[in-house]
Amino acid sequence: MTPEQTAIRALPLRPQDEMECRRCEVHCDKVVYPGACLARACPFVYSYEGWGHTYVGCMQKVYEVEIDVDMLRAAEARSAGFGAIRAQRRPLPMCKAEVEQTYESRTGELGCINPEFSELPVGVPTFRVFANIKGG
């Protein structure tokens, strides 16, 4: 393996903060559902009117596109819904987010070589650390 290939496949310090993983043949991306932003009344959704339409987007730039609200609602009314958009930044705890795998059939015998990539924010830490310091 060349040094360039080794550098690409080396795991980062915090793989859960990455938005895509290309370390194996599966290729994974973190995605968010903008329809859920409206349904959950996310405080980071903004809207503006232009060209006779209303558009919405994310103030935190979890996704960078701005979507026509009428088209979003029409798609959400169908059984398949609007669908997912590739995340550009780490999803917030209130985001409906998933990891989407492009080529699942390419998964090796040992499974994912980067399982921490699939960790998504959960809102509240699962543990707390306390320090008890006594003066001497």
Model confidence at 29, pLDDT cuts 50, 70, 90, reads confident
**Residue at 103: amino acid letter:** Y
Amino acid identity, position 57: G
Residue 61 pLDDT: 93
pLDDT of residue 99: 85
**Residue 56 predicted with pLDDT over 90:** yes
Read off the pLDDT of residues 65-97 as tens digits, 9 standing for 90 and up.
999 999 999 998 888 888 899 999 888 888 888
Task: Tell me the CA distances in angstroms from 71 to 12, 54, 55, 78, 85, one per residue in order.
Answer: 38, 10, 10, 11, 15
- The distance from CA 114 to its chain's CA centroid, rounded to whole angstroms, is 16
Copy the structure tokens of residue 25: 């043949």
Place of tokens 């991306």: 29
Question: Which one, of 9, 35, 20, 18, lies nearest residue 100 by Cα?
Answer: 20
Q: Is the pTM of this model over 0.95?
A: no
Average pLDDT of the chain is 79
